[in-house]
A and B are shown apart, each in its own frame.
Chain A
Amino acid sequence: MPELSRRKLAIHATDRLLDGDTSIVQELAAYLIASGRERESELLVRDIEQIMSDKGILVADVTTAHTLDKALEEEIISLLKKETDSTQVVIRTTVDPLLIGGMKIVLPDQLLDTSVRRKLTALSALKR
Protein backbone atom coordinates (compact mmCIF):
# COMPACT_ATOMS: atom_id res chain seq x y z
CA MET A 1 0.00 0.00 0.00
CA PRO A 2 1.53 3.29 -1.01
CA GLU A 3 2.18 5.57 1.95
CA LEU A 4 0.55 8.96 1.72
CA SER A 5 1.82 11.90 3.70
CA ARG A 6 -0.27 13.18 6.54
CA ARG A 7 -0.52 16.56 4.87
CA LYS A 8 -1.96 15.07 1.69
CA LEU A 9 -4.45 12.99 3.67
CA ALA A 10 -5.50 16.07 5.62
CA ILE A 11 -6.02 18.15 2.49
CA HIS A 12 -8.08 15.41 0.86
CA ALA A 13 -10.16 14.85 3.99
CA THR A 14 -10.80 18.57 4.43
CA ASP A 15 -11.98 18.98 0.86
CA ARG A 16 -14.39 16.10 1.18
CA LEU A 17 -15.70 17.21 4.56
CA LEU A 18 -16.34 20.72 3.23
CA ASP A 19 -18.23 19.09 0.40
CA GLY A 20 -20.38 17.39 2.98
CA ASP A 21 -18.92 13.94 2.51
CA THR A 22 -18.53 12.50 5.97
CA SER A 23 -17.65 8.98 4.75
CA ILE A 24 -14.05 10.17 4.51
CA VAL A 25 -13.81 9.77 8.26
CA GLN A 26 -14.31 6.01 8.08
CA GLU A 27 -12.04 5.74 5.07
CA LEU A 28 -9.29 7.55 6.90
CA ALA A 29 -9.72 5.35 9.93
CA ALA A 30 -9.51 2.21 7.80
CA TYR A 31 -6.47 3.52 5.99
CA LEU A 32 -4.66 4.35 9.21
CA ILE A 33 -5.37 0.90 10.65
CA ALA A 34 -4.35 -0.87 7.45
CA SER A 35 -1.13 1.07 7.21
CA GLY A 36 -0.38 0.72 10.90
CA ARG A 37 -0.48 4.46 11.46
CA GLU A 38 -3.14 4.59 14.15
CA ARG A 39 -0.90 6.72 16.32
CA GLU A 40 -1.04 9.51 13.78
CA SER A 41 -4.80 9.92 14.08
CA GLU A 42 -4.67 12.84 16.52
CA LEU A 43 -2.05 14.59 14.45
CA LEU A 44 -4.16 14.05 11.35
CA VAL A 45 -7.17 15.60 13.03
CA ARG A 46 -5.06 18.58 14.03
CA ASP A 47 -3.82 18.92 10.48
CA ILE A 48 -7.39 18.82 9.17
CA GLU A 49 -8.45 21.47 11.68
CA GLN A 50 -5.46 23.61 10.70
CA ILE A 51 -6.34 23.40 7.02
CA MET A 52 -9.94 24.25 7.84
CA SER A 53 -8.78 27.17 9.90
CA ASP A 54 -6.74 28.38 6.94
CA LYS A 55 -9.92 28.19 4.94
CA GLY A 56 -11.81 30.24 7.52
CA ILE A 57 -13.50 27.42 9.41
CA LEU A 58 -12.31 27.28 12.98
CA VAL A 59 -12.75 24.29 15.26
CA ALA A 60 -12.13 25.06 18.91
CA ASP A 61 -12.15 22.93 22.03
CA VAL A 62 -13.64 24.87 24.93
CA THR A 63 -13.27 23.45 28.40
CA THR A 64 -14.99 24.97 31.43
CA ALA A 65 -15.60 23.96 35.03
CA HIS A 66 -19.40 24.30 34.61
CA THR A 67 -21.65 23.75 31.64
CA LEU A 68 -21.87 26.65 29.29
CA ASP A 69 -25.19 28.21 28.44
CA LYS A 70 -26.03 29.23 24.90
CA ALA A 71 -25.43 32.90 25.48
CA LEU A 72 -21.95 32.26 26.68
CA GLU A 73 -21.26 29.92 23.82
CA GLU A 74 -22.35 32.63 21.41
CA GLU A 75 -20.05 35.08 23.13
CA ILE A 76 -17.16 32.72 22.77
CA ILE A 77 -17.93 32.08 19.13
CA SER A 78 -18.12 35.85 18.49
CA LEU A 79 -14.83 36.34 20.22
CA LEU A 80 -13.16 33.61 18.19
CA LYS A 81 -14.56 34.92 14.92
CA LYS A 82 -13.23 38.35 15.71
CA GLU A 83 -9.84 37.22 16.91
CA THR A 84 -9.14 34.68 14.14
CA ASP A 85 -10.97 36.30 11.23
CA SER A 86 -12.84 33.06 10.70
CA THR A 87 -16.10 32.92 8.84
CA GLN A 88 -17.31 29.93 10.73
CA VAL A 89 -16.52 28.74 14.23
CA VAL A 90 -17.41 25.36 15.64
CA ILE A 91 -16.81 24.78 19.35
CA ARG A 92 -16.55 21.46 21.13
CA THR A 93 -17.39 21.99 24.80
CA THR A 94 -16.08 19.90 27.64
CA VAL A 95 -16.75 20.20 31.37
CA ASP A 96 -13.78 19.67 33.68
CA PRO A 97 -14.42 20.59 37.34
CA LEU A 98 -10.69 20.56 37.95
CA LEU A 99 -10.46 23.89 36.16
CA ILE A 100 -12.40 25.34 39.13
CA GLY A 101 -13.39 28.39 37.12
CA GLY A 102 -12.74 30.27 33.89
CA MET A 103 -12.23 28.61 30.53
CA LYS A 104 -9.64 26.99 28.33
CA ILE A 105 -9.88 27.33 24.56
CA VAL A 106 -7.68 25.14 22.37
CA LEU A 107 -7.33 26.22 18.74
CA PRO A 108 -5.30 24.43 16.04
CA ASP A 109 -2.36 26.74 16.58
CA GLN A 110 -3.21 28.61 19.77
CA LEU A 111 -4.19 28.14 23.36
CA LEU A 112 -6.19 30.54 25.49
CA ASP A 113 -6.33 29.54 29.14
CA THR A 114 -7.99 31.85 31.66
CA SER A 115 -8.89 29.08 34.08
CA VAL A 116 -8.33 29.26 37.79
CA ARG A 117 -6.39 26.01 37.53
CA ARG A 118 -3.81 27.66 35.26
CA LYS A 119 -3.42 30.52 37.72
CA LEU A 120 -2.92 28.08 40.56
CA THR A 121 -0.40 26.16 38.47
CA ALA A 122 1.45 29.41 37.75
CA LEU A 123 1.47 30.08 41.49
CA SER A 124 2.92 26.62 42.17
CA ALA A 125 5.60 27.24 39.53
CA LEU A 126 6.98 29.98 41.77
CA LYS A 127 8.40 27.28 44.02
CA ARG A 128 12.17 27.02 44.02
Chain B
Amino acid sequence: MTVYQLYFASTETVGQKPGLFESLGIDWKMLLMQTVAFLALLWLLNKYVFPVLTKTIDDREQAIEESQRAAHDASKHAAEAEEKMKEMLQEARTQAADIVTTAKEQAEKLASDSDKKAKDRAERIIETAHEDITKEVERARISLHNELIDLVTLATEKVTSKALTKSVDKNEITNSIAGVSKK
Protein backbone atom coordinates (compact mmCIF):
# COMPACT_ATOMS: atom_id res chain seq x y z
CA MET B 1 0.00 0.00 0.00
CA THR B 2 1.33 3.37 -1.03
CA VAL B 3 1.35 6.56 1.03
CA TYR B 4 -1.31 8.04 -1.14
CA GLN B 5 -3.55 4.95 -0.71
CA LEU B 6 -2.97 5.08 2.97
CA TYR B 7 -3.82 8.77 3.03
CA PHE B 8 -6.95 8.29 1.02
CA ALA B 9 -7.99 5.53 3.34
CA SER B 10 -7.52 7.79 6.37
CA THR B 11 -9.32 10.73 4.94
CA GLU B 12 -12.26 8.92 3.79
CA THR B 13 -15.17 9.64 6.20
CA VAL B 14 -18.48 8.10 6.21
CA GLY B 15 -21.59 10.23 6.27
CA GLN B 16 -20.07 13.73 5.58
CA LYS B 17 -21.64 16.22 3.03
CA PRO B 18 -19.64 16.71 -0.24
CA GLY B 19 -18.03 20.22 -0.57
CA LEU B 20 -17.03 22.21 -3.70
CA PHE B 21 -13.80 20.35 -4.16
CA GLU B 22 -15.56 17.04 -3.43
CA SER B 23 -18.22 17.81 -5.95
CA LEU B 24 -15.51 18.44 -8.53
CA GLY B 25 -13.81 15.30 -7.38
CA ILE B 26 -10.77 17.24 -6.13
CA ASP B 27 -9.29 16.39 -2.77
CA TRP B 28 -7.99 19.74 -1.53
CA LYS B 29 -5.79 18.19 1.10
CA MET B 30 -4.30 15.93 -1.47
CA LEU B 31 -4.00 18.90 -3.77
CA LEU B 32 -2.29 20.87 -1.09
CA MET B 33 0.03 18.04 -0.22
CA GLN B 34 0.86 17.54 -3.86
CA THR B 35 1.37 21.23 -4.32
CA VAL B 36 3.68 21.30 -1.34
CA ALA B 37 5.44 18.22 -2.58
CA PHE B 38 5.75 19.75 -6.02
CA LEU B 39 7.03 22.99 -4.61
CA ALA B 40 9.43 21.07 -2.43
CA LEU B 41 10.55 19.12 -5.44
CA LEU B 42 10.81 22.27 -7.43
CA TRP B 43 12.84 23.90 -4.71
CA LEU B 44 15.11 20.91 -4.46
CA LEU B 45 15.55 20.82 -8.22
CA ASN B 46 16.12 24.53 -8.32
CA LYS B 47 18.59 24.38 -5.53
CA TYR B 48 20.57 21.34 -6.44
CA VAL B 49 19.77 20.11 -9.91
CA PHE B 50 18.93 23.03 -12.17
CA PRO B 51 22.10 25.03 -11.38
CA VAL B 52 24.20 22.05 -12.16
CA LEU B 53 22.23 21.30 -15.29
CA THR B 54 22.20 24.95 -16.31
CA LYS B 55 25.90 25.24 -15.69
CA THR B 56 26.50 22.12 -17.63
CA ILE B 57 24.36 23.32 -20.47
CA ASP B 58 25.96 26.77 -20.34
CA ASP B 59 29.39 25.23 -20.30
CA ARG B 60 28.50 23.04 -23.20
CA GLU B 61 27.03 25.98 -25.07
CA GLN B 62 30.11 28.01 -24.33
CA ALA B 63 32.29 25.17 -25.43
CA ILE B 64 30.28 24.82 -28.58
CA GLU B 65 30.49 28.54 -29.20
CA GLU B 66 34.21 28.48 -28.61
CA SER B 67 34.54 25.53 -30.88
CA GLN B 68 32.54 27.29 -33.51
CA ARG B 69 34.58 30.43 -33.09
CA ALA B 70 37.79 28.44 -33.23
CA ALA B 71 36.56 26.64 -36.28
CA HIS B 72 35.62 29.91 -37.86
CA ASP B 73 39.02 31.38 -36.98
CA ALA B 74 40.76 28.28 -38.25
CA SER B 75 38.78 28.45 -41.40
CA LYS B 76 39.63 32.12 -41.77
CA HIS B 77 43.32 31.46 -41.10
CA ALA B 78 43.29 28.59 -43.52
CA ALA B 79 41.78 30.82 -46.15
CA GLU B 80 44.33 33.51 -45.43
CA ALA B 81 47.14 30.98 -45.48
CA GLU B 82 45.90 29.58 -48.74
CA GLU B 83 45.67 33.05 -50.18
CA LYS B 84 49.15 33.85 -48.96
CA MET B 85 50.47 30.60 -50.36
CA LYS B 86 48.90 31.40 -53.70
CA GLU B 87 50.53 34.80 -53.65
CA MET B 88 53.89 33.27 -52.71
CA LEU B 89 53.56 30.66 -55.41
CA GLN B 90 52.73 33.32 -57.93
CA GLU B 91 55.66 35.39 -56.79
CA ALA B 92 57.92 32.37 -56.90
CA ARG B 93 56.74 31.57 -60.40
CA THR B 94 57.36 35.18 -61.45
CA GLN B 95 60.82 35.17 -59.89
CA ALA B 96 61.65 31.85 -61.48
CA ALA B 97 60.57 33.19 -64.83
CA ASP B 98 62.70 36.30 -64.29
CA ILE B 99 65.69 34.19 -63.30
CA VAL B 100 65.28 31.99 -66.34
CA THR B 101 64.97 35.04 -68.60
CA THR B 102 68.00 36.72 -67.01
CA ALA B 103 70.02 33.51 -67.23
CA LYS B 104 69.14 33.16 -70.90
CA GLU B 105 70.07 36.75 -71.60
CA GLN B 106 73.37 36.39 -69.74
CA ALA B 107 74.16 33.15 -71.52
CA GLU B 108 73.46 34.80 -74.86
CA LYS B 109 75.54 37.82 -73.92
CA LEU B 110 78.38 35.58 -72.74
CA ALA B 111 78.31 33.65 -75.96
CA SER B 112 78.21 36.87 -77.95
CA ASP B 113 81.07 38.40 -75.92
CA SER B 114 83.14 35.27 -76.31
CA ASP B 115 82.60 35.35 -80.07
CA LYS B 116 83.53 38.99 -80.22
CA LYS B 117 86.61 38.47 -78.05
CA ALA B 118 87.70 35.54 -80.19
CA LYS B 119 87.21 37.61 -83.35
CA ASP B 120 89.06 40.58 -81.88
CA ARG B 121 91.89 38.33 -80.81
CA ALA B 122 92.08 36.72 -84.21
CA GLU B 123 92.13 40.14 -85.88
CA ARG B 124 94.87 41.32 -83.55
CA ILE B 125 96.92 38.23 -84.27
CA ILE B 126 96.52 38.79 -88.00
CA GLU B 127 97.38 42.46 -87.65
CA THR B 128 100.44 41.65 -85.57
CA ALA B 129 101.46 39.02 -88.11
CA HIS B 130 101.09 41.60 -90.92
CA GLU B 131 103.19 44.09 -88.98
CA ASP B 132 105.82 41.47 -88.24
CA ILE B 133 105.94 40.47 -91.89
CA THR B 134 106.19 44.09 -92.98
CA LYS B 135 108.99 44.73 -90.50
CA GLU B 136 110.74 41.57 -91.59
CA VAL B 137 110.47 42.54 -95.24
CA GLU B 138 111.80 46.00 -94.43
CA ARG B 139 114.67 44.50 -92.44
CA ALA B 140 115.47 42.16 -95.31
CA ARG B 141 115.36 45.08 -97.74
CA ILE B 142 117.67 47.16 -95.58
CA SER B 143 120.01 44.23 -95.10
CA LEU B 144 120.06 43.64 -98.84
CA HIS B 145 120.61 47.35 -99.49
CA ASN B 146 123.53 47.45 -97.05
CA GLU B 147 125.02 44.26 -98.42
CA LEU B 148 124.78 45.71 -101.91
CA ILE B 149 126.53 48.87 -100.82
CA ASP B 150 129.26 46.82 -99.15
CA LEU B 151 129.70 44.73 -102.28
CA VAL B 152 129.75 47.76 -104.53
CA THR B 153 132.22 49.53 -102.24
CA LEU B 154 134.46 46.50 -102.11
CA ALA B 155 134.27 45.93 -105.84
CA THR B 156 134.93 49.60 -106.56
CA GLU B 157 137.85 49.60 -104.18
CA LYS B 158 139.36 46.54 -105.79
CA VAL B 159 138.78 47.75 -109.32
CA THR B 160 139.97 51.30 -108.71
CA SER B 161 143.01 50.09 -106.77
CA LYS B 162 144.10 48.14 -109.82
CA ALA B 163 142.99 50.72 -112.33
CA LEU B 164 144.38 53.78 -110.63
CA THR B 165 148.01 53.67 -111.63
CA LYS B 166 150.33 56.53 -110.84
CA SER B 167 149.72 58.19 -114.19
CA VAL B 168 145.98 57.78 -113.94
CA ASP B 169 146.09 59.09 -110.41
CA LYS B 170 148.10 62.07 -111.61
CA ASN B 171 145.40 62.85 -114.16
CA GLU B 172 142.80 62.42 -111.44
CA ILE B 173 144.61 64.89 -109.19
CA THR B 174 145.02 67.35 -112.03
CA ASN B 175 141.33 67.15 -112.77
CA SER B 176 140.55 67.69 -109.09
CA ILE B 177 142.71 70.78 -109.00
CA ALA B 178 141.02 72.08 -112.12
CA GLY B 179 137.66 71.35 -110.59
CA VAL B 180 138.48 73.25 -107.42
CA SER B 181 139.88 76.17 -109.41
CA LYS B 182 136.66 76.53 -111.42
CA LYS B 183 134.49 76.80 -108.27
Residues from chain A with Cβ under 8 Å of B145 in the complex: 127-128
Docked-complex contact B177 and A79, CB < 8 angstroms:
yes
Contacts across chains A and B counted by CB atoms under 8 Å: 65
The yes or no answer to B62 lying at the interface (CB within 8 A) is no
The yes or no answer to B75 lying at the interface (CB within 8 A) is no
Residues from chain A with Cβ under 8 Å of B34 in the complex: none
The yes or no answer to B46 lying at the interface (CB within 8 A) is no
Residues from chain A with Cβ under 8 Å of B173 in the complex: 64, 68, 72, 102-103, 114
Interface of B is mostly: helix
Measured in the bound complex, the distance between the Cα atoms of B142 and A75 in whole Å is 44
Q: Which interface class (under 10, 10 to 19, 20 to 34, 35 or more) fits A?
A: 20 to 34
Q: Which interface class (under 10, 10 to 19, 20 to 34, 35 or more) fits B?
A: 20 to 34
The yes or no answer to B20 lying at the interface (CB within 8 A) is no
In the assembled complex, how far is the CB of residue A9 from the closest CB belonging to chain B, in whole angstroms?
33
The yes or no answer to A4 lying at the interface (CB within 8 A) is no
Docked-complex contact B160 and A75, CB < 8 angstroms:
no
- A interface residues with partner B (beta carbon < 8 Å): 64-69, 72, 75-76, 79, 82-83, 100-103, 112, 114, 116, 120, 123-124, 126-128
Which interface residue of B150, B153, B169 has the most chain A CB atoms within 10 A? B169
Of B166, B168, B177, which contacts A76 at CB under 8 A?
Answer: B177
The yes or no answer to B174 lying at the interface (CB within 8 A) is yes
Of A66, A79, A112, A120, which contacts B166 at CB under 8 A?
Answer: A66
Docked-complex contact B160 and A101, CB < 8 angstroms:
yes
